């Protein structure tokens, strides 16, 4: 009852100064709209750019690294243990590229419940033969189904169908850059030479475009079986095992564990792509800073308007106090005014921000580099709406705090006598 009365008084005071109140609310609306739209847009871009690399990067990658054995015989020998080793320029020996016992490893990984999926891969260097010119390239033999499920491979196949890789013998999906150089159309047969000197003829069934130009000039894809056939190796021949985890954070520790267990080189995503995390964080930080600045500016607007209202309504405050309203009641009235401006302005702002996000989402954004993106990406994460809402309340409350305190300490005697 009593609170209802205070609310009624707050409402009447606002209606008496409707224009100013509206201006204050519009200030909040504007800043919340910008805040939500900006963060949604910024984060949509962030996620897209990160996805560009992170989606296609395995969380852990197992492979045999070509490097000299760290345990050289001379170091192990007891005879020379007290001698200085001056042997320099040690070369790696021709160790096998394929992963030893890969079937068992894949089996172990698939049984780990932290693992989302495993995709084996055969990676080999080739020369594409164009007339009498050879250009270097690399062919990845992939398990098409696993690659689609884990790394959205099909999203980047801009022409043709990724399934043709497993359905058509000796088929290849060429990198867009490589295909352009070779003037290879879909259905054409191209010729490639492996590092071992085997020449193979492969049928082009699609183009692959990642958005990273350097990659597209070199990379091409075949099925695992085709790649093994090119190399003349048996079906157990696998050069990489790519693992996708349920949680990306687990990658570094699991990479170390499994690397030691399998006695093989294991790279985790954090080590390989540390710079992406940093970039995302900084972009987020900037957009939050801009959004919060907007809110604070609108807070000053509310502060001004409330202050003005208090000067204008001194008589009202004095009379309320004389007829039995306490300082606390007056404080509540003005705090309510501030909060109502915040709630109404903020709510409208959130709705407009959502609409602005929808609008941006419709804007065409087509670029050669990003084949999967047709419109600007916007992230509609409810988190921004919650943060925006909470901040609009917080800033309006802060903006109302001092004026309300001032109003509550108005001395009615001074006002009444002063007339």
Helix, strand counts (H, E) of the chain: 16, 10
By CB under 8 A, tell whether 19 contacts another protein. Answer: no
Give the shortest CB-402-to-another protein separation in angstroms.
19
User: Which residue of 13, 37, 204, 238 would you call a contact of another protein, by CB under 8 A?
Assistant: 13
By CB under 8 A, tell whether 192 contacts another protein. Answer: no
> DSSP code of 155?
G
User: Which residue of 316, 331, 392, 396 would you call a contact of another protein, by CB under 8 A?
Assistant: 316
Q: Cβ of 397: how many Cβ atoms within 10 Å?
A: 16
From 26-34, 125-133, 163-171, 312-320, span contacting another protein (CB under 8 A):
312-320
By CB under 8 A, tell whether 413 contacts another protein. Answer: yes
From 39-47, 63-71, 143-151, 326-334, span contacting another protein (CB under 8 A):
326-334
From 134-142, 150-158, 316-324, 383-391, span contacting another protein (CB under 8 A):
316-324
By CB under 8 A, tell whether 412 contacts another protein. Answer: yes
User: Which residue of 90, 110, 308, 322 would you call a contact of another protein, by CB under 8 A?
Assistant: 322
Judged by CB, which is closer to another protein: 18, or 83? 18
| DSSP per position, 190-253 | EEEEETTS-EEEEEEEEEE--S-HHHHHHEEEEEHHHHHHHHT--TT--SEEEEEES-GGGHHH
What lies within 8 Å, CB to CB, of 267 at 6+ separation is 60, 61, 63, 255
By CB under 8 A, tell whether 329 contacts another protein. Answer: yes
Judged by CB, which is closer to another protein: 226, or 316? 316
By CB under 8 A, tell whether 67 contacts another protein. Answer: no
Give the shortest CB-406-to-another protein separation in angstroms.
16
User: Which residue of 328, 359, 369, 375 would you call a contact of another protein, by CB under 8 A?
Assistant: 328
Judged by CB, which is closer to another protein: 5, or 355? 5
Judged by CB, which is closer to another protein: 254, or 330? 330
Three-class SS of residue 122? strand
Here the contacts of 367-371 (C-beta below 8 Å, separation 24 or greater) are: 369/211, 369/212, 369/213, 370/48, 370/52, 370/211, 371/156, 371/158, 371/209, 371/211
Q: How many residues of this chain interact with another protein, rule: CB under 8 A?
A: 27
Judged by CB, which is closer to another protein: 308, or 322? 322
Instruction: Judge whether 244 and 151 are in contact, CB under 8 Å.
Output: yes
From 121-129, 135-143, 194-202, 320-328, span contacting another protein (CB under 8 A):
320-328
Judged by CB, which is closer to another protein: 88, or 417? 417
Three-class SS of residue 153? helix
From 13-21, 54-62, 362-370, 393-401, span contacting another protein (CB under 8 A):
13-21
By CB under 8 A, tell whether 325 contacts another protein. Answer: yes
User: Which residue of 131, 324, 364, 382 would you call a contact of another protein, by CB under 8 A?
Assistant: 324
Strands (E), 4-59: none
Sign of the CA dihedral 230, 235, 241, 244? positive
Three-class SS of residue 303? helix
Could you give the CA distance from residue 92 to residue 311 in angstroms, rounded to a whole number?
A: 84
Pairing of strands 133-142, 60-63: unpaired
User: Which residue of 243, 245, 269, 318 would you call a contact of another protein, by CB under 8 A?
Assistant: 318
By CB under 8 A, tell whether 327 contacts another protein. Answer: yes
Could you give the CA distance from residue 147 to residue 381 in angstroms, rounded to a whole number?
A: 28
Could you give the CA distance from residue 87 to residue 85 in angstroms, rounded to a whole number?
A: 6
By CB under 8 A, tell whether 315 contacts another protein. Answer: yes
In the complex, the residues that contact another protein under the rule CB under 8 A are: 1-2, 5, 9, 12-13, 15-16, 315-316, 318-329, 412-413, 416-417, 419
């Amino acid at each position: 009852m009593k609170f209802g009365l205070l609310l009624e008084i707050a409402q009447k005071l606002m209606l008496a100064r409707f224009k100013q109140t509206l201006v204050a609310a519009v200030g909040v609306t504007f800043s919340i709209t910008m805040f939500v739209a900006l963060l949604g847009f910024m984060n949509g871009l962030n996620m897209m750019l990160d996805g560009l690399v992170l989606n296609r990067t395995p969380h852990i990658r197992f492979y045999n690294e070509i490097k000299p054995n760290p345990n050289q015989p001379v170091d192990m020998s007891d005879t020379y243990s007290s001698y200085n080793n001056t042997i320099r320029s040690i070369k790696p020996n021709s160790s096998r590229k394929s992963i030893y016992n890969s079937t068992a490893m894949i089996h172990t990984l698939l049984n780990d419940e932290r693992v989302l999926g495993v995709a084996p891969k055969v990676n080999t260097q080739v020369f594409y033969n164009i007339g009498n010119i050879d250009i270097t390239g690399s062919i990845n033999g992939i398990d098409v189904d696993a690659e689609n499920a884990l790394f959205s491979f099909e999203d980047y196949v801009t022409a043709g169908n990724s399934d043709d890789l497993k359905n058509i013998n000796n088929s290849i999906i060429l990198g867009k850059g490589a295909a352009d150089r070779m003037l290879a159309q879909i259905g054409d047969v191209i010729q490639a030479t492996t590092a071992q000197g085997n020449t193979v003829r492969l049928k082009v069934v699609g183009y692959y475009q990642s958005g990273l130009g350097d990659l597209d000039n070199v990379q091409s894809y075949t099925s695992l079986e085709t790649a093994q056939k090119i190399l003349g190796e048996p079906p157990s021949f696998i050069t990489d095992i790519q693992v996708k985890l349920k949680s990306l954070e687990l990658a570094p520790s699991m990479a170390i564990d499994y690397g030691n267990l399998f006695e093989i080189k294991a790279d985790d995503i954090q080590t390989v792509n540390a710079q992406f995390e940093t970039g995302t964080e900084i972009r987020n930080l900037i957009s939050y800073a801009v959004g919060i600045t907007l809110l604070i500016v609108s807070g000053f607007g509310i502060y001004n308007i409330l202050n003005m209202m208090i000067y204008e309504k001194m008589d009202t405050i004095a009379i309320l106090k004389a007829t039995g309203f306490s300082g606390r009641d007056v404080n509540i009235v003005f705090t309510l005014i501030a909060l109502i401006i915040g709630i109404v302005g903020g709510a409208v702002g959130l709705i407009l921000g959502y609409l602005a996000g929808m609008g941006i989402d419709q804007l065409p954004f087509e670029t050669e580099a990003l084949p999967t993106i047709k419109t600007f990406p916007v992230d509609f994460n409810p988190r921004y709406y919650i943060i925006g809402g909470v901040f609009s309340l917080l800033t309006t409350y802060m903006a109302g705090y001092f004026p309300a305190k001032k109003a509550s300490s108005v001395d009615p005697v001074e006002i009444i006598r002063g007339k």
